[in-house]
């Protein structure tokens, strides 16, 4: 009997791990991240996988060598880090994609192509030397806040384009700042200092870095064209140059793509755990996850769609 229960536990754990490997995807496009800059600035190195900067994947990030560590811009911790300033750089070419004003309300835009719940965070670090990359410690000192006071932006579980209003710190001025985007997924079941359940514990992460500057006064300018119009920069030069666009101070926080795949509504089928697994903690949430995938997948011996 004990052997049977153990095998069942291993089988369930294996299934949960398989779900974890169905990776989400997201890219940071406003301000344009280094790996996405080619979409707006001709002549920049192309990265067609700019929505896959997930620290090498969940299994790689949390293996015995990396132990949850990740490059600040989403590269695997143990890689040459092509998205960071340094000898292995490919995409960090010193292009200042946006120029902001200290204390302004700015907009950050993330395109989620495969959602897995969770939230976004945005941080910024002023560089004293543009040839030396920012550290995570510096970024952590400048966690950006939304107008409502929140630092985390929970977007649900729908693919689409999300625009978040953020407040730049008063008094923060920099010729070159690194702007970090972090998407912490929430589709794994686990435990950490904040609690236990779905979304707690180790999760898949996506990150991205953009290069910006912040002035003490003046209007906000763009080196790269805005994602909405994809206006191209008319030279391949990496010299920062403002284009005549400005930001506004409205408080609209979210826009979502009308082409996003549908999510299950209250009247649509849902998955629940059945049989002896019905009482196993976390199984109901696991069944809900697999049922919510597109296409849905409810293993009949474990879950039942109602």
* pLDDT digits 0-9 by tens, 219-234: 445 556 544 332 332 2
Q: Which ranges constitute the DSSP H helices of the chain?
A: 2-20, 58-61, 136-140, 283-292
DSSP code at position 275: G
pLDDT at residue 255 tops 70: no
pLDDT at residue 253 tops 70: no
Integer Cα distance of 247 and 235 in angstroms: 23
- Structure confidence at residue 212 (pLDDT): 97
State the average pLDDT for the chain. 77
- Structure confidence at residue 217 (pLDDT): 67
* Alpha carbons within 13 A on the beta-carbon side of 238: 12
> pLDDT confidence of 119, banded at 50, 70, 90?
very high
**pLDDT tens string 47-58:** 999 999 999 999
**pLDDT top residue among 250 and 181:** 181
- Structure confidence at residue 69 (pLDDT): 96
> pLDDT confidence of 135, banded at 50, 70, 90?
very high
Say how many Å lie between the first and final Cα of the chain, rounded: 30
**pLDDT tens string 272-286:** 778 876 776 566 666
* Alpha carbons within 13 A on the beta-carbon side of 180: 31
pLDDT at residue 241 tops 60: no
- Structure confidence at residue 40 (pLDDT): 92
Share of the chain above pLDDT 90, in %: 60
Q: What Cα–Cα distance (Å) separates residue 57 from each residue in 111, 135, 203, 228?
A: 19, 21, 10, 29
Integer Cα distance of 306 and 304 in angstroms: 6
Show the tokens assigned to 149.
Answer: 């006071």
Integer Cα distance of 99 and 97 in angstroms: 7
pLDDT at residue 162 tops 80: yes
- Structure confidence at residue 303 (pLDDT): 76
- Structure confidence at residue 280 (pLDDT): 66
- Structure confidence at residue 210 (pLDDT): 98
- Structure confidence at residue 228 (pLDDT): 33
Contact predicate 178/139, CB 8 Å: yes
- Structure confidence at residue 278 (pLDDT): 77
> pLDDT confidence of 15, banded at 50, 70, 90?
very low
- Structure confidence at residue 274 (pLDDT): 83
| Strand pairing report for 25-30 and 119-126 | unpaired
Integer Cα distance of 13 and 193 in angstroms: 22
Whether pTM > 0.85 for this model: the answer is no
> pLDDT confidence of 11, banded at 50, 70, 90?
very low
- Structure confidence at residue 290 (pLDDT): 55
- Structure confidence at residue 54 (pLDDT): 95
Average pLDDT over residues 40-44: 92
């Amino acid at each position: 009997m004990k052997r049977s229960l153990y095998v069942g536990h291993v089988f369930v754990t294996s299934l949960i791990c398989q779900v974890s490997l169905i990776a989400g995807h997201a890219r940071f496009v406003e301000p344009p991240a280094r790996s996405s800059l080619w979409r707006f600035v001709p002549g920049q190195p192309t990265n067609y996988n700019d929505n896959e900067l997930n620290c090498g994947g969940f299994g790689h990030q949390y293996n015995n060598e990396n132990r949850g560590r990740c490059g600040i811009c989403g590269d695997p911790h143990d890689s040459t880090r092509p998205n960071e300033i340094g000898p292995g750089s490919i995409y960090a070419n010193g292009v200042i994609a946006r120029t902001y004003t200290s204390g302004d309300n700015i907009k950050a835009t993330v395109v989620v192509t495969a959602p897995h719940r969770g939230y976004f965070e945005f941080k910024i670090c002023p560089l004293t030397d543009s040839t030396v990359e920012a550290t995570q410690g510096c970024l952590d000192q400048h966690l950006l806040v939304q107008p409502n006071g929140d630092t985390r932006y929970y977007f649900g579980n729908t693919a689409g384009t999300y625009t978040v209003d953020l407040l730049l710190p008063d008094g923060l001025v920099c010729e070159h700042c690194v702007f970090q985007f972090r998407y912490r997924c929430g589709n794994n079941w686990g435990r950490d200092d904040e609690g236990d359940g779905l979304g707690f514990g180790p999760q898949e992460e996506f990150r991205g870095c953009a290069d910006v500057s912040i002035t003490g006064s003046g209007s906000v300018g763009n080196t790269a064209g805005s994602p909405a119009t994809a206006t191209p920069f008319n030279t391949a030069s990496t010299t920062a140059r403002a284009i005549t666009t400005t930001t506004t101070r409205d408080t609209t926080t979210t826009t979502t793509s009308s082409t996003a795949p549908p999510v299950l509504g209250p009247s649509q089928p849902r998955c629940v755990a059945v049989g002896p697994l019905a009482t196993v903690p976390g199984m109901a949430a696991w069944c809900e996850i697999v049922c919510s995938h597109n296409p849905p997948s409810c293993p009949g011996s474990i879950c039942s769609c109602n």
